[in-house]
Amino acid sequence: MTATTETRAGVTPAADRPRRGRRRGAHGRVHPGLWFFPVPALLLYLVFFAGPTLQAFQYSVTDWDGFSADFANVGTSNFGSIVSNDDLFRGALTNNLKFLFVVVIAQTALSLLLAVLLQRNSRSSTALRALFFLPAILSSVSVAFVWKFMYDPNFGLINQVLGGIGLDGLRSAFLGNADQAIFWVALAQVWAHAGQLMVIFIAGLQQIPAELYESASLDGASQWQRFRFVTWPLIAPATAIVVAYTTIQSFKAFDLILGLGGNPPKGSLDILSTRIYTTFTNSKFGYAAAESIVFMLIIAVVSLLQRRAVRLTQHGA
């Protein structure tokens, strides 16, 4: 009688109700075959990254020349020599920091400026975005040959233009000037990649609600104040990506340096990646492995410091 009454009232009897707990368990169970999907990526990571990294640590404490079957364990003497006695490594580090300083500041500022000017989705902005992005699709070797022609002290375009307009006093040896060479290479790097990073900033700018700018305008904020207090804090994620990418890019400007400075590059253009490469070519594999580990630690420290600086800047704005 009770079951009949519940059925008439529209209540399903307990015996006929779906067993939700069992269904959830059936649908929530992961098929065992899905665990095999990450295996190819994991194997690639282990073979081409984790394995070589561990081997680098192994060889960094040896004097292996890369060819001999036998080699001796030298402990931490390779690292001690890098820190205290290696003038070439310190010179390359100095050049790399100069290169990094110019590229991070100039490339970030230029890409942000282009993004602010071209963030609207008009035809002219789209065309200009494509124009500024064009150098990014070129290989670094191609960029090096273009700028090598520009910097040629005798037949280069820059000196030819300066001479043609009567500014012969501004003509320069460019890459032949040991004090300025690394900065001219940094200029080529900025030209090649500012348009690429502009796209990241445009994506960040287009996520900012227009209501915030309207509220700031109603409060009497100037254009600079709207940028400082609205735009700059809200593009913190995009800025962090750009700065981190630019930092790693600056340390890995291997092909651009070789294209402009030759192989091996002269001391004024030598950076850490080319210094390690030269050490390898000189059959000092153990020492080069130690340099690679120091190089990796330097990148990690600089990246962490930059992330901290970006966060402090955004909070301070």
74 is a domain residue: no
104 is a domain residue: yes
56 is a domain residue: no
Higher pLDDT: 314 or 58? It is 58
What is the reported pTM? 0.79
> Over 70: is that where the pLDDT of 316 sits?
no
> Over 60: is that where the pLDDT of 24 sits?
no
Q: What is the pLDDT of residues 227-260, one digit of tens each?
A: 888 888 888 888 888 988 898 888 888 889 999 9
286 is a domain residue: yes
Q: Give me the domain span that covers residue 308.
A: 95-316
Residue type at position 94: T
134 is a domain residue: yes
260 is a domain residue: yes
CATH number at residue 172: 1.10.3720.10
Question: How confident is the model at residue 315, as a pLDDT?
Answer: 61
Please name the residues in contact with 281: beta carbons below 8 A apart, sequence gap of 6 or more: 264
120 is a domain residue: yes
28 is a domain residue: no
β-pair partners for 62: 73
Higher pLDDT: 181 or 311? It is 181
Range 172-195 average pLDDT: 91
In total, how many domains does the chain have? 1
Q: What is the pLDDT of residues 76-128, one digit of tens each?
A: 899 999 988 889 999 999 999 999 999 999 999 999 999 999 988 888 989 99
